């Protein structure tokens, strides 16, 4: 099993993921990693039903995903996984739990009270900012790109944080 892309997108499986990111990541499996979604049978089934043809969707709690990664990562098989999480804190937990991730795509985090907008589709809490700083300190490249062709090249999240005076 190889994680081909870890994307932070609080919408999980939806049109952009199924139409663009699965193809770009060359993934044949999607993992939705979120404690609430994994414990809600209706939403869990909905996520599985939204997959593009030929793409398996699994829904895990963070702990289940960490255990699955430890068990399967590096096995010489053809499983290529696009991992979707809702926020930077959960992405950090996966990396700290052993996921071998070189880069993380920050795609969609809706505005909510207490968050600051850093890009068109991304609003971060103070906890998200701290998680990004830790990920970068660990050598993980965190980049923003809503769609593979929009903007035409990924944007460095640390630069966005500095521009918005969040670090």
Query: What pLDDT is attached to residue 135?
Result: 97
pLDDT confidence tier of residue 120, bands split at 50, 70 and 90: confident
Kindly report the CATH number that applies to the domain delimited by 2-163: 3.40.35.10
Mean pLDDT over 84-106 rounds to 95
Residue of 136, 167, 164, 20 lying closest to 82 (CA atoms): 20
113 is an active site residue: no
Residue 164 neighbours by CB under 8 Å, 6+ apart: 116, 117, 118
Q: How many other CB atoms are there within 10 angstroms of residue 93's CB atom?
A: 18
For a pLDDT cut of 90, what percent of the chain falls above it? Answer: 65
Q: Compute the mean pLDDT over every residue in the chain, rounded to the nearest whole number.
A: 91
Among residues 2, 8, 14, 141, the one annotated as catalytic is 14
Query: What pLDDT is attached to residue 54?
Result: 83
Q: How far apart are CA 67 and CA 144, in angstroms?
A: 28
pLDDT tens digits, one per residue of 38-77: 999 999 999 988 888 888 999 999 999 999 999 998 787 8
Query: What pLDDT is attached to residue 152?
Result: 63
Global pTM reads 0.92
Q: How far apart are CA 159 and CA 166, in angstroms?
A: 10
Query: For the chain, which residues make up each domain, given as ranges?
Result: 2-163
């Amino acid at each position: 099993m190889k994680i081909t892309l870890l994307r932070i997108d609080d919408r999980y499986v939806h049109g952009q993921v199924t139409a663009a990111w699965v193809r770009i990541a060359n993934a044949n499996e999607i993992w939705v990693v979120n404690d609430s979604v994994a414990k809600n049978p209706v939403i869990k089934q909905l996520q599985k039903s939204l997959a593009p043809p030929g793409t398996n969707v699994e829904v895990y709690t963070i702990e289940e995903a960490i255990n699955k990664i430890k068990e399967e990562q590096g096995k010489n098989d053809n499983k290529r996984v696009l991992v979707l999480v809702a926020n930077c804190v959960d992405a950090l937990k996966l990396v700290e739990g052993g996921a071998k991730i070189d880069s993380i795509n920050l795609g969609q985090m809706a505005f909510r009270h207490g968050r600051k907008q850093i890009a068109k589709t991304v609003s971060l809490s103070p906890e998200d900012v701290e998680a990004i700083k830790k990920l970068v300190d660990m050598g993980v490249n965190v980049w923003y790109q809503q769609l593979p062709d929009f903007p035409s090249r990924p944007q460095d999240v640390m630069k966005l944080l500095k521009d918005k005076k969040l670090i």
